[in-house]
Every structure is written in structure tokens, then in C-alpha cells.
A and B are shown apart, each in its own frame.
Chain A
């Protein structure tokens, strides 16, 4: 599904990713762990195509197609989803309007008929119930006045609605208390499937207690330093990132 080959990327002229290699297959959950400044968020932005994140070398192959030159909205429509570390507020735009725009934009791209108001309401109702999300969240402006937990749940709702093939969760645990973390993780776990690949980016091991990964990779200094099974996360929790040349925080 996702094959990253020798990926180099710069931000503001500074090289942050220095040759990343990573293969993620459908049905797998991979965790990328690393200290602050290791390039974790950069990786998520480069995969999703944020402006200002320049790929200087290498490839990001997604089902065999190179994403690097593709507009972010095309990547999204092709099934690449990024759950933001800091979901953005959009005043005056009801969540439900935003979701409908997004769903129909993606459907248009895929050559499917747009959902009309009735079909959409039915679909969104089912999704909110599945995820245990309060309906009033749909009426409120996108992320405006949402608590940290609500914002992250809203990301999961968007993911459920857009039904991506590749989901990148960027520090989904940041700013969440234990209860919110559990709710959000349950949402993600519901969305695990054989057809979907999930990339979980996190600093701490605690998220991985809830979303148990198949593989763990350590990212430091812009490169994957080590890969292993879920036990690698526990080791990191215990020893920190010191052995990768990063001072303890």
C-alpha cells in the first residue's frame, strides 16, 4: 500500500528527512516513534502534501503511484488521510457542511454520484452512532470551541466518514487525558481493517497500549534507526531515545 523509498525532504531549506525507507501493507498498523524534532510530523506532512514541505529525493509510492507531485486534495481523494495533531478551527462553517463537502469532493473524484442531503444525513447519523459521538458536534462550527478530546474525536469521525485506505495519525494522543485517549483509540480500533493501513505517529508508548501496532519504527535524525515488533515500544519507554544520540528530555 505505502512504500517510501529513500525519502529526503526539506522545510525552509533545511533537510529534515534524510533517507527514509518504509513499507506498510494493507491491514497493518505501524507506529513511528521518535523524540521531538526527529522529523515525525514532517513525515506526516510530506505524505499528505502540505505546502512548504519539499521532497528533494526519493519516492512515496501509494499503491504503486508516486504521491510526491500530487496536490493534497487529490491524495486525500485517492484515500490518504491525515489525522491532525492540532485540528484547525474554521469559524462559521458547520461541521456537517464541511463533512458533506469533503465526502462529495472525494466521491466526485472517484466518479461516484454525490450524496444528496437525505443520503448524507443517514450516513452521518450511522457513523456518529457507531463512534458514540454526540450529534450536536455536527452542528457546531468545525473544531471551534471544541475541547482537545472533541477535536480528536472529530478527526476520527472524519476518518470514518471518508473511509481512507491509508490513515496517518499524527500525535493523536497529544493533549488527551486517559479517558479521552481511550475513546479516541477505540474509534481508531473500530476502523482497523484488512483493507486499511494505519500509520501511528507518537512520542509516547502509552498510545500503543490502546492501539496495538504490528510494527514499531524508531525515527531519529531524519532516518528510521530501528524497526521491530510492538515490544520495541516498551523498550523505548524504559530506555528513552538516548541510544539514538538524543539527550533525555
Chain B
């Protein structure tokens, strides 16, 4: 067999068996009736015992959503979404009004997270760095660890439904301020039916003492997950936050339409990392998550910084553009991305860097790896506003093709309304190199491991951006995504 044929064969072997998180937790759930209507919106709001203003804002979004046509500009192909065929609320029955302490969490759920390798107990990790975790199971948050310890330093880390009760003024002020409900159809839907998600507030001058993370798990059948994350970093504060995502293997497509909003004040920094491993569908392209997410950060204050790092290996379709609005002078936006698609996965991802303030800088490093029959699009907008004097952007966009049935496309959009702004864009596309694979194999390294090594090398610049704790995990994930059922 020729090297190329063999590589392609290996890639073909990457079947759904590789997906280790595809199990279903058998648990009693409470769901809203199927479908979407004003009554469902009211149902969700009532479940959460929400204030009137929030219900009103949900209904406003819902009514607007009804008037919005489906977007058609994206690269991925998929049949029209049957919005009435889904459940919009599903919660483990045992959760009731939300967990009061870790001891009260249903053992089945604890087991689920254990299987996913996520510790829902307050134990220090090997490195000695504790990580606080918020676990979102279908539509509700089931546990948040280290809450008490974080609150000693004034950090609030809790489910957003809890934040709505505890600090409504903060939520009211900032939710929807970066991503308005009119932004796009999926964000609008989220604004109407969002169920849970994480809320983080870092007070002035505080460096968050530990990594924060949220693990999203879709478990129930035919259920969409619409979570909402809001992170506010006050003047001079810092936080590093990581989200992880998994779902069972199911034949139907499930919609995940989240909104993440980040806000940094003067001299504040948010580092937001995503390791997205939703179920990608099987080798024939059946099933898998539609990951249609709106993520945007506002560098409101001067000298503030927002950094997005994403490792996207899952989902049938990934369609998102984590973005930065660089409003404060000297603010910095970063986007580091690895997207791996295999089999029939599709990805249309990239970023938007909107430079408004003076001397704002942005950096975009995107690494796309396409294998199997998958297709990828990098789409990036860099906009230099009229007041963005001295603004700079650097974009580097590299695509790697594994096999000869996949695709990679790069579409940069550059808009400059200020003559002093500098925009640089570099892009490359290459095929995985047979000479490299032979060289590694000649040193005793098996083909699959060799592919993983080359791909990890290709992604190195981005992997280095991840918090240490997760870099190793992400590296393994890269390997698993490309390796199949080895091990």
C-alpha cells in the first residue's frame, strides 16, 4: 500500500469508536414540553424563579427571533433546523432548586463527571493548582466547587441562574451588553431560552487565585443546550477560565447555541480557553452536535486584554467566531485556534477583531486540520475604526490537510477606516507530508503516533497558549481526534 493510501486508510479508521464520551447517563429528568413557544419561554423563566425584567427581556428576544430568517451565508450545509422538534429545558429531577452542597449532588451525575475525568470534589490536582469547576448538565448547573474559597477573595463564580438571584444588578447591567439579542438568529434564540451557564465576577485589583472552569454536558435526547456565560473583570483584575464540552453519541443532531460575553475594565485581563469535544457524529456523518455559539469580549477599559484560545475537535458543525471589541485605548485582543475536523465534520470558524480605541492591537493565530471528508473554513474580520490611530493586527492562518478528500478555505475580511492602522495577514495550506511520516516511522514511531506528532507540532503555537493544566489534555485530544480507537 502506498504511503498516501495508508494514511487515508488510517484516517478512515477514525470511526465513532474514538469518541470516549458518548455514553448516556440514565437519570430521571424533568423536561419542558417539546417545542418552542411563548409558554415555553415563560416556563423556563418560572422554573428559575426569575424577576419580571428578565422574563420581559426573554419574551422580547423570542418575538424578535420569530421575525428573523435563517442565515444563509455560512459554508456548512445542513437541513433546516426543526425548532419545534427539540426540548428547551431538561434537568435531572434530583437537582430541584439547584444543589446546595456537593454532598447533595446525585451520585449518578457525580459518576458521569468522574467518567469524563472532571473532578467534582475539592481536591488539588497533581500540579498543586486547584481548579474551581462549574458543571452544567443539560439545562442546569449541578455543582460548583471551591465557591467558598473564591468568595474569600471577593470572586463570584456561580451558575448564572444563581447570579440572577444574588446580584441581579450586575447581570441586568451587563448581560446582553456585548451580544445584544438582535445580533444573530442563534444568539437571539439563546436570549429567549437560555437555561444556565456560568457567571464570574472578579473585583477590582483581584487576581483570581485559581483557574475557573465550566464543563458542559448534554445528556438528554432531543435537547438543545443554551447556556449563557458572563464574565466581568473589574479594573486591574485577572482571570483565566476554561470550558469543556462533551455529549453522548446520538443519531439526531442536537443544537448547542450558547452566548459568552466577556467584559474587561481598565488594566484587566481575561484569558478564556475552550476545549470543545462535543459528539462529532459517526463516520458516516450521522448525528453530532450543531455548535452555533456567539462569543464576544469587550475590552472596555484602557490597557485591558482579552485572549481567546480554542481547541475545537468535536461537533458535527462548529460555527463560531470568538471576537474582541477593542474599545479601550491600548487594549489587546488575541485569538488562538486549533480546529480539527474528521469524517464529515464541518467547521466555519474564526474571529472578529473590532479596533475602536487608539493603539489597540490584535493577534490571530489559526490552525486548521482537516481529515477524512471534512471541510473547514477560516473566516476572520479585522476592522480598524476611524479613531483606531496606531492600531495593529497580525493574522496567521495555516491549514493542514490529511488525505485527499477534505477541504480547507480561508476568507479574511479587512476593513480599514484609519490610515495609520497596520494589518498583516499570512496564510498557508499544506498536506501532511509523507516524508515526515516515513522519517518518524523509521525511528520506530507508529503511523498514528507520527501523524499526531506532526499535527501537534503544527499546532504548537496555539497549544502553548493553554493553561499548563490543560495543554497536556489538549495534546492528547488532538491525538485522539486523529488516532481512532487505538489504546
B457 touches A105 (CB 8 A): no
Q: Does A228 contact B (CB under 8 A)?
A: no
Q: Does A133 contact B (CB under 8 A)?
A: no
Q: Which of A76, A82, A93, A158 has the most B CB atoms < 10 Å from its CB?
A: A93
Q: Does A101 contact B (CB under 8 A)?
A: yes
Find the B residue at minimum CB distance from A92: B457
B434 touches A105 (CB 8 A): no
Q: Chain B binding site: helix, strand, loop or mixed by DSSP? A: helix
List A contacts of B1 (CB < 8 A).
Answer: 51
Say how far A76's CB is from chain B's closest CB, in angstroms. Answer: 4
List A contacts of B84 (CB < 8 A).
Answer: none
Closest 8 CB pairs of A and B: A92-B457, A51-B3, A92-B460, A93-B457, A102-B443, A88-B439, A76-B444, A106-B444
Please measure, in the bound complex, the distance between the C-alpha atom of A167 and the C-alpha atom of B437, giving whole angstroms. 20
B444 touches A93 (CB 8 A): no
A88 touches B436 (CB 8 A): yes
A51 touches B438 (CB 8 A): yes
Give me 19 other A-B pairs in contact (C-beta within 8 A), A50-B438, A73-B441 excluded: A51-B2, A51-B4, A71-B441, A72-B442, A76-B443, A84-B439, A88-B438, A88-B439, A89-B436, A91-B457, A93-B454, A98-B440, A98-B453, A101-B443, A102-B444, A105-B444, A105-B449, A162-B443, A162-B444
B453 touches A87 (CB 8 A): no
List B contacts of A51 (CB < 8 A).
Answer: 1-4, 6, 434, 438
Please measure, in the bound complex, the distance between the C-alpha atom of A52 and the C-alpha atom of B435, giving whole angstroms. 12
List A contacts of B453 (CB < 8 A).
Answer: 90, 93, 97-98, 101
Say how far B361's CB is from chain A's closest CB, in angstroms. Answer: 24
Per-residue CB proximity of A88-122 to B under 8 Å, as 1/0? 11111100011001100110010000000000000
Please measure, in the bound complex, the distance between the C-alpha atom of A51 and the C-alpha atom of B9, giving whole angstroms. 14
Given contacts A93-B453, A93-B454, A105-B449, contact A73 B444 (CB under 8 A): yes
Say how far B465's CB is from chain A's closest CB, in angstroms. Answer: 13
Please measure, in the bound complex, the distance between the C-alpha atom of A90 and the C-alpha atom of B450, giving whole angstroms. 11
List B contacts of A84 (CB < 8 A).
Answer: 439, 442
Find the B residue at minimum CB distance from A80: B442
Q: Which of A72, A88, A105 has the most B CB atoms < 10 Å from its CB?
A: A72
Please measure, in the bound complex, the distance between the C-alpha atom of A162 and the C-alpha atom of B444, giving whole angstroms. 9
Q: What class of interface size applies to chain A in its complex with B?
A: 20 to 34
B440 touches A90 (CB 8 A): yes
List B contacts of A87 (CB < 8 A).
Answer: 439
Please measure, in the bound complex, the distance between the C-alpha atom of A3 and the C-alpha atom of B327, giving whole angstroms. 73
Q: Does A160 contact B (CB under 8 A)?
A: no
Per-residue CB proximity of B435-471 to A under 8 Å, as 1/0? 1101111111111010001101111110000000000
Within 8 A of A (CB), among B1-19: 1-4, 6
List A contacts of B446 (CB < 8 A).
Answer: 71, 73, 105
Interface residues of A (CB under 8 A from B): 48-52, 71-73, 76-77, 81-82, 84, 87-93, 97-98, 101-102, 105-106, 109, 141, 158, 162
Given contacts A98-B453, A105-B446, contact A72 B459 (CB under 8 A): no
Say how far B112's CB is from chain A's closest CB, in angstroms. Answer: 32
A101 touches B435 (CB 8 A): no
A101 touches B438 (CB 8 A): no
B457 touches A72 (CB 8 A): no
Given contacts A87-B439, A90-B439, A93-B456, contact A73 B447 (CB under 8 A): yes
Find the A residue at minimum CB distance from B445: A105
Say how far B376's CB is from chain A's closest CB, in angstroms. Answer: 19
Say how far B412's CB is from chain A's closest CB, in angstroms. Answer: 22
Please measure, in the bound complex, the distance between the C-alpha atom of A162 and the C-alpha atom of B447, giving whole angstroms. 18
Please measure, in the bound complex, the distance between the C-alpha atom of A89 and the C-alpha atom of B439, giving whole angstroms. 9
B3 touches A73 (CB 8 A): no
A102 touches B445 (CB 8 A): yes
Please measure, in the bound complex, the distance between the C-alpha atom of A87 and the C-alpha atom of B435, giving whole angstroms. 9
Q: Which of A87, A97, A98, A101 has the most B CB atoms < 10 Å from its CB?
A: A101
Please measure, in the bound complex, the distance between the C-alpha atom of A51 and the C-alpha atom of B3, giving whole angstroms. 5
Please measure, in the bound complex, the distance between the C-alpha atom of A199 and the C-alpha atom of B101, giving whole angstroms. 69
Please measure, in the bound complex, the distance between the C-alpha atom of A90 and the C-alpha atom of B437, giving whole angstroms. 10
Given contacts A51-B438, A52-B3, contact A90 B457 (CB under 8 A): yes
Please measure, in the bound complex, the distance between the C-alpha atom of A66 and the C-alpha atom of B435, giving whole angstroms. 24
List A contacts of B445 (CB < 8 A).
Answer: 73, 101-102, 105
Say how far B446's CB is from chain A's closest CB, in angstroms. Answer: 5
Given contacts A51-B434, A90-B454, A91-B457, contact A76 B3 (CB under 8 A): no
**The residue from A49, A97, A141, A158 contacting B443, defined by CB atoms under 8 A apart:** A158
Please measure, in the bound complex, the distance between the C-alpha atom of A130 and the C-alpha atom of B435, giving whole angstroms. 29
